[in-house]
Structure 1
Amino acid sequence: MLKHYKTIGMIGGIAPASTVDYYNRLISRFQERTGQREYPSIIINSINMTHMMELITNENLDELVDYLSEEIFTLEKAGAKVVFMASNTPHLVFEPLAQRVKTKMVSIVDSTIAYAQAKGHNRLGLFGTLSTMEGDFFQDGFEASGMEIITPMSDERKYIHKVYMEELIRGRFLPETKSRLLSIAARMYSEGQIDSLILGGTELPLILKSSDMEDIELLNTTKIHVERILDAAIG
């Protein structure tokens, strides 16, 4: 019965908590969308996040492409037909990766752009790692689609990155951290900077929920990404 569905390959472990979230969402949404109690074929390659982040921090992007492409080749050899990375940050090298590997890759950025356009958002805040907030891979894609990405102030960006790396990727979700993150988002909204907020780190939806802010939509990039992955896998 499942022969019509493509095997999904996940580059995971970046970080473990979000990998588990992706896994659970893929299964539950697959069953909801197909109306069957079947389970999709998912291959997870849990990679070394410490090594990946060191390459990004040191701006060794060519080496990062080499590293990630080899890990994707592992998924291809195992039979994956649709591949994705369970993290926003490594999408800064998505284009060269997609050109190098054979398998169809599903981008979290492109998925979020399509979703935001459909929702009519224009000025979107962006939370994530420093590489995500200060890089151009979100900004360029959104600007090309007629939308604007707004990032927090410099000290706020540093704070978000710090708690991301020291707490969130380790599965620690503290109430005081949540309160500070929400206060940053509230400031950006009250000053008229943003009409919505992209949770541009796949651990962020584990601490910030849609119900936490009444005035603006929080875009859960994991949730959005999962739908596009399943679009490709179900066909």
Structure 2
Amino acid sequence: MSFIGVLGGMGPAATVDFMAKLVALTPACCDQDHLPVVVVTLPRVPDRSAAILGRGQDPLPALKEGIALLNRADVGLVVIPCSTSHHWYDELSAASHAPILHIARAAVSRVPRGERALILATRGALASGFFQRELAAWETPFDIPSPDDEQVLVDDCIRLIKSGQPEPAGACLERVLVKARTRGARTAILGCTELPLAAVYAERHSLGLIDCTLELARCAVEYALQRGWNCA
């Protein structure tokens, strides 16, 4: 039997959200129809965004420790429901015995090709540029939030989710979406796994929202079902 391996805890609520979406997307009539999953939750991994911006401890050794745990569990696929950690995707892939799905590729594949997308993510993820590279490869134009206005609201939204305050986080996200709609955006990528938790409490204002957690879960389910991992 093969397992999906989840390297989570960054943050814990985002990992729980990923697992809920993985279960909801799996076609099942009973317990035995569901996919086997090994979850490693490592909330003490140093802040990924701070490290990319040169303001914090390198999280790569801790991330590799998580990959080593999943290697020992002999998982057949790895997913990481933390977008910013994909800055180290190549290094983690080299350390992993199993393939690792890329969260930005999963999310970008759902953006209507050629439709301008607004990337909502951590400052570290935006500085890394992996969402921008995937959108460029998808031949899709993109915008990023203004650093001293919209991005401040995105930062606050993420911080509030991590501190267990989803409704105020939703209010921050809604202010970002209003600004985005005003300047003509039609699609926004929720490119941090905390943001979908805030979106529950935000009005979309006619924007199409791409939930990176949902798309990562969708890709994981498709990968596992194609290989029959839901069969005893």
Question: When the two structures are superposed, what TM-score results if normalisation uses the length of structure 1?
Answer: 0.84
Greater mean deviation of Cα atoms: 49-58 or 197-206: 49-58
C-alpha contact (below 8 Å) 1:124/1:150 kept by paired residues:
yes
Name the counterpart of 1:180. 172
Greater mean deviation of Cα atoms: 152-161 or 218-227: 152-161
Residues 61-72 of structure 1 aligned to structure 2 (within 5 Å): 63-72=58-67
C-alpha contact (below 8 Å) 2:121/2:154 kept by paired residues:
yes
C-alpha contact (below 8 Å) 2:154/2:172 kept by paired residues:
no
- CA distance in 1 between partners of 2:124 and 2:152 (Å): 11
Unaligned runs of 5+ in 2: 227-232
Alpha carbons of structure 1 residues 64 and 50: separation in structure 2 relative to 1, 3 Å: closer
C-alpha contact (below 8 Å) 1:130/1:158 kept by paired residues:
no
Q: Which amino acid in structure 1 is aligned with residue 18 of structure 2? A: Y
| 1:75 equivalenced with 2:70 (yes/no) | yes
C-alpha contact (below 8 Å) 2:177/2:205 kept by paired residues:
no
- CA distance in 2 between partners of 1:140 and 1:114 (Å): 13
C-alpha contact (below 8 Å) 1:126/1:200 kept by paired residues:
yes
Aligned residues: 223
C-alpha contact (below 8 Å) 2:8/2:40 kept by paired residues:
yes
C-alpha contact (below 8 Å) 1:138/1:149 kept by paired residues:
no
Alpha carbons of structure 1 residues 115 and 35: separation in structure 2 relative to 1, 3 Å: farther
Name the counterpart of 1:23. 19
C-alpha contact (below 8 Å) 1:209/1:218 kept by paired residues:
no
Q: Which amino acid in structure 1 is aligned with residue 5 of structure 2? A: G
Give the secondary-structure state (helix, strand or coil) at the position aligned to 2:78.
strand
Name the counterpart of 2:230. none
Residues 99-114 of structure 1 aligned to structure 2 (within 5 Å): 99-114=94-109
Greater mean deviation of Cα atoms: 88-97 or 13-22: 88-97
Out of 110, 119, 126, the residue aligned to residue 126 of structure 1 is: 119
Runs of 4+ in 1 over 6 A off after TM superposition: none
- CA distance in 2 between partners of 1:208 and 1:121 (Å): 24
Alpha carbons of structure 1 residues 222 and 210: separation in structure 2 relative to 1, 3 Å: farther
Give the secondary-structure state (helix, strand or coil) at the position aligned to 1:187.
helix
Out of 176, 191, 215, the residue aligned to residue 224 of structure 1 is: 215
Q: Which is richer in helix?
A: 1
| 1:205 equivalenced with 2:196 (yes/no) | yes
Greater mean deviation of Cα atoms: 98-107 or 11-20: 98-107
Alpha carbons of structure 1 residues 16 and 87: separation in structure 2 relative to 1, 3 Å: same
TM-superposed deviation, 1:70: 2.7
C-alpha contact (below 8 Å) 2:104/2:131 kept by paired residues:
yes
Unaligned runs of 5+ in 1: none
| CA RMSD, Structure 1 to Structure 2 (Å) | 2.4
- CA distance in 2 between partners of 1:96 and 1:122 (Å): 32
Identity across the alignment (%): 20
TM-superposed deviation, 1:210: 9.6
C-alpha contact (below 8 Å) 1:43/1:75 kept by paired residues:
yes
Name the counterpart of 1:159. 153
TM-superposed deviation, 1:148: 2.1
Name the counterpart of 2:35. 40
After superposition, give the CA deviation of every residue in 1:181-218 in whole Å (9 maximum; x if it has no partner): 212222222222x2200111111111114982242211
After superposition, give the CA deviation of every residue in 1:9-57 in whole Å (9 maximum; x if it has no partner): 1111111111111112212222x2x555423211111113452435445
TM-superposed deviation, 1:84: 0.9
- CA distance in 1 between partners of 2:214 and 2:201 (Å): 12
After superposition, give the CA deviation of every residue in 1:164-195 in whole Å (9 maximum; x if it has no partner): 13x111221134x4233212222222222x22
- CA distance in 1 between partners of 2:142 and 2:29 (Å): 37
